[in-house]
Amino acid sequence: MEWPELQALKRRMRDFAERRDWDQFHAPKNLVMALAGEAGELIEHFQWLTEAQSAELDARTLEQVASEIADIQIYLARLADKLDVSIADAVERKVAENERKYPVDRAYGSARKYTEYGTGD
């Protein structure tokens, strides 16, 4: 079951693409490549910042970062729509998997990967 907001976003982006005859360009392969490109553009904003600087962006940079996040979400919604993937269901499955792999008693305050403490796959 998809979250209503994601259903609406998928429909809006599908309509946006169809009205411009862009659906022909939105093969999953192309959407994944566009998604990777947008992720790279987001990374550029943080590449040379310290951890502290990355947590306190100025207003202009924050606006640019928000725009890149939006681009990523749009391409992700289009990809999920094209592949008939429920983002909500996929997220729920992934969170359950992560809860199993990273039990609180072993993962609390640790950045170690689950394979380093022997739970999960």
Q: Is residue 118 part of a domain?
A: no
Q: Is residue 9 part of a domain?
A: yes
Identify which of 24, 26, 4, 20 has the alpha carbon closest to the alpha carbon of residue 81: 26
pTM of the shown model = 0.86
Q: From first to last of its 121 residues, what are the pLDDT tens digits of the chain? A: 889 999 999 999 999 999 999 999 999 999 999 999 999 999 999 999 999 999 999 999 999 999 999 999 999 999 999 999 999 999 999 999 999 999 999 999 999 998 887 644 4
- Amino acid type, 90: A
Domain CATH number, residue 31? 1.10.287.1080
Count of structural domains within the chain: 1
Q: Is residue 34 part of a domain?
A: yes
**Spatial distance between the Cα atoms of 37 and 115, rounded to a whole number of angstroms:** 30
